[in-house]
């Protein structure tokens, strides 16, 4: 069997003991909990700041992610790329591929790995946008900046094209493994809905149309389905509150569930009915399961752990056992590795770091 260069890179990366790395004090249990049976080897990739939404290149040799880290001159989220072979982000800043202006989110490699897309506010204002309070009336909120648009750049950060140019929020874009479509969230209809478009930004099509926030969508491995997170406010009071927050550029993610539909929006169905916040879903390599983050088992807002569930809503299984926060799980294209964000091993700080695990079913 011919082994490609990216495969050699990853094999070399994971030829390590079962507990592949220790923290600075030599504590073997710092980055892997004993119950985490699906993780064979695990490696911490970043060591400070707020690092999230790491996505694989099509050849599995690189990761693109967003980070807020003053040591990297990123006062609010900027986009970075790291090559897994020899990656040392403890001592070296990875390549920044966003402009360094405004705030960015939701980057992704395009087919061929020579270009990338991400959402940015830089055309609206070079400064980081206003950061709203984390809570309003005791409820956690997310900003959905209307200055976000989706841009295409090369893998060295040179801007190529603007893929969206409509009033309101356009972000959360990801690319089909088939390499033919982009799915993203937009407020162009007045409510955050899912849309698809071709790789050049043409042929835009709305695929969800129900009151509530729809976002964080990903294609299945065969490109035929989408999984996403959604809120569905019910009753006059909930709907009024939802609309009031949205008018302020905010959504409240404390009540979300996981949904699946075909890539054209048909056959929509709710997968989880767990309550609280269920989000950051991603398809298992089989296409028959979904891994996601949830706090449904927590007494309060935290803790968030990773879970896996069949696409028909059966077979819920806990994957991680962190005391604080695990989220943004993403499988490599070859299905052998999982990257995720976690508060583990952060020395009691608020740092969220990237971790890379070899996956065992």
Residue-wise pLDDT for 317-331, tens only, equals 999 999 999 999 999
Whether the predicted pLDDT of 21 surpasses 60: no
Per-residue pLDDT band for 302 (boundaries 50, 70, 90) equals confident
| Dihedral Cα 261, 263, 266, 269, nearest 10 deg | 0
Per-residue pLDDT band for 1 (boundaries 50, 70, 90) equals very low
Letter string b/e over residues 97-124, b meaning 16 or more CB atoms within 10 A of that residue's CB: bbbebbbbbbbbbbeebebbbbbbbbeb
Residue 35, pLDDT score: 97
Residue 266 exposed, middle or buried by CB count within 10 Å (0-12, 13-18, 19+) = exposed
Residue 16, pLDDT score: 30
Residue 157, pLDDT score: 97
């Amino acid at each position: 069997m011919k082994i490609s260069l990216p495969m050699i890179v990853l094999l070399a990366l994971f030829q390590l003991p079962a507990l592949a790395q220790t923290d600075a004090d030599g504590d073997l249990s710092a980055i892997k909990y004993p119950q985490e049976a699906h993780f064979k080897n695990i490696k911490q990739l970043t060591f400070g700041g707020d690092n999230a939404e790491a996505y694989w290149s099509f050849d599995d040799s690189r990761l693109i992610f967003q980070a807020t880290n003053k040591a990297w001159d990123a006062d609010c989220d900027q986009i970075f790329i790291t090559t897994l072979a020899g990656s040392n982000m403890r001592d070296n800043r990875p390549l920044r591929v966003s402009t360094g202006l405004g705030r960015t989110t939701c980057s992704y490699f395009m087919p061929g790995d020579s270009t990338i897309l991400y959402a940015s506010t830089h055309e609206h204002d070079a400064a980081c946008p206003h950061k709203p309070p984390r809570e309003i009336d005791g409820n956690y909120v997310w900003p959905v900046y209307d200055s976000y648009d989706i841009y295409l750049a090369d893998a060295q950060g040179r801007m190529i094209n603007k893929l969206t140019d409509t009033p309101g929020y356009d972000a959360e874009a990801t690319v089909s493994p088939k390499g033919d479509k982009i799915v993203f969230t937009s407020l162009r209809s007045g409510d955050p809905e899912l849309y698809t478009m071709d790789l050049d930004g043409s042929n835009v099509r709305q695929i969800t149309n129900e009151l509530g926030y729809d976002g964080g969508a990903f294609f299945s491995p065969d490109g035929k389905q989408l999984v996403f997170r959604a809120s569905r406010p019910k009753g006059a009071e909930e709907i009024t509150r939802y609309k009031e927050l949205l008018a302020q550029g905010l959504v409240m993610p404390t009540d979300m569930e996981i949904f699946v539909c075909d890539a054209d929006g048909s056959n929509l169905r709710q997968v989880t009915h767990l309550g609280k916040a269920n989000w950051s879903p991603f398809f298992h390599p089989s296409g028959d399961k979904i891994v996601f983050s949830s706090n449904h088992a927590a007494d309060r807002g935290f803790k968030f752990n990773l879970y896996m569930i069949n696409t028909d809503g059966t077979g819920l299984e806990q994957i991680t056992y962190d005391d604080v926060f695990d989220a943004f799980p993403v499988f490599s294209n070859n299905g052998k590795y999982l990257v995720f964000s976690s508060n583990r091993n952060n020395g009691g700080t608020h740092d969220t770091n990237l971790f890379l695990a070899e996956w065992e079913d």
